[in-house]
Amino acid sequence: MPGGSVGVGDEAPDFSVTSSDGEPVRLSAFRGHSAVVLFFFPMANTPACTAEACAFRDSYETFVDAGAEVIGVSADAVATQRQFAGRHRLPFRLISDSAGELRTLYGVPKTLGLFPGRVTYVIDPQGIVRYVFSSQLQIARHVEEAIRVLKTLPGGE
């Protein structure tokens, strides 16, 4: 699956990286404990990406109540992500994917072949992808769809 498009029913590719707050993040560490909402966004500090990150922030307690961790991924430098998270009080982890390795691993497409795609993956506690939502423009639906799917998982509300 490396380099291929990850879809519903696939095992989510594991990764081990350091988040923008300096903490190690390994996807497999969440297995058996919590679902993960992994959202790829193009670039911090742009209007659409700020709106998306803030929508995840505003619904963060709903994600926690549903037993999910939220992780945002962009190509921004760690320092940029740290500033972005601080400015907008983002309570979830951000991961810098400056080399595009995670995007390649998950098969996140580019929009018009140029711009990094905006894709959200809902991964259940067993590490299986249960939903994929890809849309550059329907920003709010990334959060709405993720919450909807989480509520259908065992243990969801």
Active-site residue set: 49
CA-based nearest residue to 73, from 123, 128, 8: 123
Token duo for residue 44:
């911090």
* Separation CA 63–CA 68 (nearest Å): 5
CB atoms within 10 A of CB 110: 12
SS3 sequence of 79-138: HHHHHHHHHCCCCCEEEECCCCHHHHHHCCCEECCCEECCEEEEECCCCEEEEEEECCCC
CB 153 within 8 A of CB 128: no
